[in-house]
Structure 1
Amino acid sequence: MTFILRRLLHGAWVLLAVSALVFAALYVVGNPVELLVDPQADPADTARTIAALGLDQPLWRQYLTFLGNAARGNLGTSFIHGVPALSLILERLPATLELALSALFLALLLGIPLGLWAGLRPTSLAGRLIGAASTLGFALPAFWVGLMLILVFAVQLQWLPPGGRGETREVLGLSLSVFTLDGWRHLLLPALNLALYKAALVVRLVRAGSREALAQDYVRFARAKGLTESRVVTGHVLPNTLIPVVTVLGMELGALIAFAVVTETVFGWPGMGKLLMDAINALDRPVVVAYLLFAAALFVVLNLLVELLYGWLDPRVREGRQ
């Protein structure tokens, strides 16, 4: 319990620091009134708009007002949409979750077999090519890869649409694309673009883990018992290789959700990242601050859950926290 309270307190300090930095940065970038009010508007109307948005107050007072409202669950009202910023984020959350989970599935589908092949046959031509491709996956920028995917599969081959979300279906009150064929056609390219970096990470982890597992005594013992190579790989090498993969990807899921900004912008995917870019362009300060606080809280919660899982799996870790 002491560990949980300590981590929650640490998370609260992280959220406070993020909110202060973002609030100050947005204040320096520009004045949203210049975008919200017609330059030809009457000065009295402009003054009323500034007062209604609370922008006539000094920055420190605006920030304290924001903190007081945040403590009551109110992260501010969007300057552009005129609705609570948190409701806008939660409205876009299903689309981002759908994209992130699809990308995670593709990363595992591509990364595990390729990494296993490269680990079992590291000196083969295919193993070397897979290793080089994984390095390339880390180096290529997501926006460039996204544009190339659109150019090849949407413009030249015309197999898939270049953007948008396509047809959705209501499931448990959520609009989801994965339950329609048109939705999958729109989802595939952005999910693949978001998955490539994670797939390269999975390839590296599986390749290193399988090479390490092959050198262990339990693999030698399994082979000495006369087990076939496929039984050795599937029953001994792969399960032990996947432990660090699951751990790392559990943490990377937060990054997929929070930092799908580039992919959502390139493909016009109506998720939280697209909302963030639109809010930045319009200097919609409440939406930007609310999004970054939401993303920071997501990382704090995921880190806490992973550490609690470690403590449950390994009592030595739990005892070290007391």
Structure 2
Amino acid sequence: MIAFFIKRFFQAVVVMFVISLISFSIQDNLGDPLRELVGQAVSEEERQALRDEMGLNDPFLVQYVRFAKNALQGDLGESYFFKEPALEVILNKFPATLELVIGATFIIVLFSVPLGVYSAIKPQSVFSKAVMGFSIVGISIPVFLTAIGLIYLFSIELGWMPSYGRGETVEILGFWESGFFTQDGLEHLILPCFTLASIMLPLFIRLIRAEMMEVLQSEYVKFAWAKGISPRRIYFLHALKNTMLPVITVGGVQIGTMVAYTILTETVFQWPGMGFLFLEAVNRVDTPLIVAYLIVVGAIFVVTNTLVDLIYGLVNPTVKLAGR
């Protein structure tokens, strides 16, 4: 276990170095940040003086080394628009995005496991074929179109759900304002969470079905049938446990991906999270905030992948996390 952590730590350092280098290198292609900071009334001489003061005229390597030194101390720069540390601005929006990811993950687990297992056990039934048809449609529809459709149906036509905003929140743990614990907050969460879950739900239904059908054809399952073990025990103890191993691997990566996918969902629903903040930063050419967002999302990917490896080893003890 210690060897595994050491190995993954060095891998994470290399990955984060590459992410930071790429994120920092693209900022010159995003536009001139002084355009948003000072407008059109400032002369060219004053612009150049400001660029020198901000270090924007320094060579790329000098700028990156300065950025890397500050990043190691937790300083990812100061937002041009908010006049606050970029990391602090992102972390203030992170709980709202995390709520969407948690809600979407709960919906995915709640529906994908029983639907995938049932479709594998009875692949020829009408319901299974309907589920497979739904999954194909779900994979094909863009997330923003799903969001617009849900808003039109449940907010405009039926008037059941609010169409935008986060709703009422309460503070928990001293630092997190959550909408999970108020009725208004939950009502505002339902449509965005279902929209975000629609990206991954069809994928997981089909993945669980395919893996479950493969496991049911294995020799040890046939041996379990021959021993007279009850179908419930075979399906949900022997087969499902081994079915979940690749699902956990894919699921960990996709949960990290959902953090990035929240950009479209948060934009349609005007959800005050990291994704909506990122688009605003792009429109304002707030390069420190853009770079900080990309690094934070990259760090989330690295952490989730490491946790997936740990969970994989716990679910299947025969998997060695690290070699000799």
Fold agreement, TM-score > 0.5: yes
Contact 2:248 2:312 in 1 (8 A): no
Shift of 1:202: 1.6
Q: Which is further off, 51-60 or 123-132?
A: 51-60
Look up the SS of the partner of 2:98 in the other structure: helix
1:198-213 correspondence runs (5 A): 198-213=200-215
Deviation string for 1:85-124 (max 9, x for gaps)?
A: 1111111111111110100000111212221221122122
Shift of 1:196: 1.1
Match of 1:300 among 299, 302, 320: 302
Q: Which is further off, 271-280 or 53-62?
A: 53-62
Q: CA RMSD in A?
A: 2.4
Aligned-partner Cα distance in 2 for 1:311–1:110: 25
Name the residue aligned to 2:118. Answer: 117
Shift of 1:236: 3.7
Residue type of the partner of 1:305?
Answer: L
Aligned-partner Cα distance in 2 for 1:143–1:133: 18
Aligned-partner Cα distance in 2 for 1:297–1:289: 12
Contact 2:309 2:321 in 1 (8 A): no
1:243-258 correspondence runs (5 A): 243-258=245-260
In the alignment, structure 1 segments of 5+ residues that lack a partner are none
Q: Residues 208 and 276 (structure 1 numbering): CA distance in 2 closer, same or farther, change over 3 Å? A: same
1:265-304 correspondence runs (5 A): 265-304=267-306
Contact 2:192 2:265 in 1 (8 A): yes
Aligned-partner Cα distance in 1 for 2:14–2:38: 36
Q: Which is further off, 205-214 or 263-272?
A: 205-214
Shift of 1:83: 0.5
Name the residue aligned to 1:189. Answer: 191
Residue type of the partner of 1:37?
Answer: V
Look up the SS of the partner of 1:196 in the other structure: helix
Aligned-partner Cα distance in 2 for 1:316–1:188: 38
Aligned-partner Cα distance in 1 for 2:120–2:168: 41
Match of 1:317 among 301, 315, 320: 320
1:10-89 correspondence runs (5 A): 10-41=11-42, 46-47=47-48, 49-89=50-90
Contact 2:170 2:177 in 1 (8 A): yes
Residue type of the partner of 2:90?
Answer: I
Look up the SS of the partner of 1:175 in the other structure: strand
Residue type of the partner of 2:54?
Answer: L
Aligned-partner Cα distance in 1 for 2:81–2:23: 18
Contact 2:252 2:305 in 1 (8 A): no
Q: Residues 116 and 307 (structure 1 numbering): CA distance in 2 closer, same or farther, change over 3 Å? A: closer
Look up the SS of the partner of 2:320 in the other structure: helix
Contact 1:310 1:317 in 2 (8 A): no
Match of 1:261 among 249, 260, 263: 263
1:136-151 correspondence runs (5 A): 136-151=137-152
Name the residue aligned to 1:157. Answer: 158
Aligned-partner Cα distance in 1 for 2:99–2:88: 18
TM-score of the superposed pair, with normalisation by structure 2: 0.89
Residue type of the partner of 2:24?
Answer: F
Shift of 1:165: 0.3
Deviation string for 1:143-184 (max 9, x for gaps)?
A: 111111112211222211111100001111210011011111
Aligned-partner Cα distance in 1 for 2:311–2:215: 23
Shift of 1:217: 4.4
Aligned-partner Cα distance in 1 for 2:222–2:3: 44
Contact 2:23 2:295 in 1 (8 A): no
Residue type of the partner of 2:106?
Answer: F
Contact 2:249 2:312 in 1 (8 A): no
Name the residue aligned to 1:172. Answer: 173
Q: Residues 237 and 310 (structure 1 numbering): CA distance in 2 closer, same or farther, change over 3 Å? A: closer
Q: Which is further off, 70-79 or 6-15?
A: 6-15
Aligned-partner Cα distance in 2 for 1:234–1:296: 35
The percentage of aligned residue pairs carrying the same residue is 38
Aligned-partner Cα distance in 1 for 2:56–2:285: 13
Look up the SS of the partner of 1:78 in the other structure: coil
Residue-pair matches, total: 321
Q: Which is further off, 86-95 or 42-51?
A: 42-51
Contact 1:53 1:79 in 2 (8 A): no
Look up the SS of the partner of 2:177 in the other structure: strand
Aligned-partner Cα distance in 2 for 1:50–1:175: 38
Q: Residues 222 and 277 (structure 1 numbering): CA distance in 2 closer, same or farther, change over 3 Å? A: same
Residue type of the partner of 2:320?
Answer: V
TM-score of the superposed pair, with normalisation by structure 1: 0.90
Name the residue aligned to 2:106. Answer: 105
Name the residue aligned to 1:5. Answer: 6
